[in-house]
Copies of this chain bind each other. A is one copy, B any other.
Amino acid sequence: MSDISPLRTGTSLLSRHECEKAEGFFLPELPRLLPVAYHPKAAQIEFRSNAWVRRYLAGCFADEGDLLKLLRERVGLYAPLIAPTADEQRVLDLADFYHFVGLIDSLAADHSGLGASDRGARDVFDKILADFAAGTDVALSDDSPFGRAARDLWRRISAGLTPDQVLRFRASMSRFLRGIAAELPHQLTGSVPDYDTYLTIRIDSFGCDFILLLTEYALAVDMTGPAASPQFVAVHHHAMRQLILVNDLLSLRKEHGDPMNAVRVLCCHGGLTLQRAVDRVCELVGLHEHAYIAARDAVRHGPFGARADVRSYLDGLDHLLAGSQEYEYLTPRYFGDGSVWDGSTSGWISLTAPIARFLPRAGDASRTTAGRRSRIPHWKEP
């Protein structure tokens, strides 16, 4: 497995303060070597998952406005993008599941509520895990909206998993919630971890274990055996790093100031300017994407490559990476509530505008039609 180091020599040093005061950054085109596809029923799945959120999770929002804000993030389109060839019902199960964990993630980011302390969050997470562990036994779990939603998801998804996968599903939720809780001290104090510590926590808090497990679920395959073999280690290693680093770039505007972002880690521990840190993370994305493709091809051409389920799973990983990236360009979660994607994937991004979009140059809001300039570069709050 190739070792990709985040820092190189010869980088210009900058104070932490200077890194933080940047008003924006330029995002270059990323490689995007993997195939983007939408599930043929993507739109219908998104709308149906919106209905599931209303039915099961409405009680988790302060009001209807907060619920609509989540729905405007289009989380229901994530599953149709990462599992474009899967059975419609399984994609719907994934869509509802990602709405569920996306909401946990959003609530943990509210440092006046669930995310006010890691101890408080751990207590809530213990209850959520108990709801998963209770399976379909209502008497064993609580009657909170989270409890009902967790039981519904558990019932639907575990029915399509092997016993090995059921154990991994439960363990993956535990690891995810542990990761979210482990991020909180950094977020509450602002302390930026070093790159290795960062990645260790982030692999958990990103939900990598259930992301991989649910990729198996979507395709109705069980990779418990192969995934533990040495041939798969490099595949998953690079896939998960590509996934996380692309997310760090595209969520940077939303998470500006959040210490749990690779760009911030490289700014603070590598002494890079914000732009140089962005550029370096873009390079790392490319390195991990190429390394993933090489490792995936090695499995394809190795002893596992003859198995139809393995080949299906490897195609699924391609879609997972490509689909996640596509989702992160299009979601108003990262570019600001009210934004609408126009398909552009590179440009200057403001960190201060309430709604951002890719602009040709820093501070430049000129229309792409030559010679005219917009009157107001950024959306004004109503």
Q: How many copies does the complex hold?
A: 2
A307 touches B (CB below 8 Å): no
Q: Mark A47-70, 1 if CB is under 8 A from B, else 0.
A: 110110111101100111100100
Residue from B42, B62, B71, B374 within 8 A of A64 (CB atoms): B374
Of A105-113, A184-192, A229-237, A337-345, the segment with at least 4 beta carbons within 8 Å of chain B is: A337-345
* 5 A-B pairs whose Cβ atoms sit less than 8 Å apart in the complex: A44-B343, A47-B341, A51-B344, A63-B374, A68-B339
**Interfacial residues of chain A within 150-190, with CB under 8 A of chain B in the complex:** none
Q: Is the CB of A50 within 8 A of B369?
A: no
Q: Secondary structure of the A side of the interface?
A: loop
> Once bound together, how far apart are the Cα atoms of A38 and B67, in whole Å?
26
Q: Is the CB of B43 within 8 A of A367?
A: no
A330 touches B (CB below 8 Å): yes
Q: Is the CB of B58 within 8 A of A380?
A: no
Q: Is the CB of B68 within 8 A of A355?
A: yes
Closest CB-CB distance, A195 to chain B, in whole Å? Answer: 34
> Given the interface contacts A65-B380, A376-B63, A382-B382, does A54 sit within 8 Å of B341 by beta carbon?
no
> How many residues from A make CB contacts under 8 Å with B?
49
Q: Which residues of B contact A72 (CB under 8 A)?
A: 338, 340
In the complex, besides A47-B343, A59-B367, 8 extra interface pairs with C-beta distance below 8 angstroms are A40-B40, A43-B77, A50-B342, A53-B342, A54-B368, A58-B369, A64-B377, A65-B380
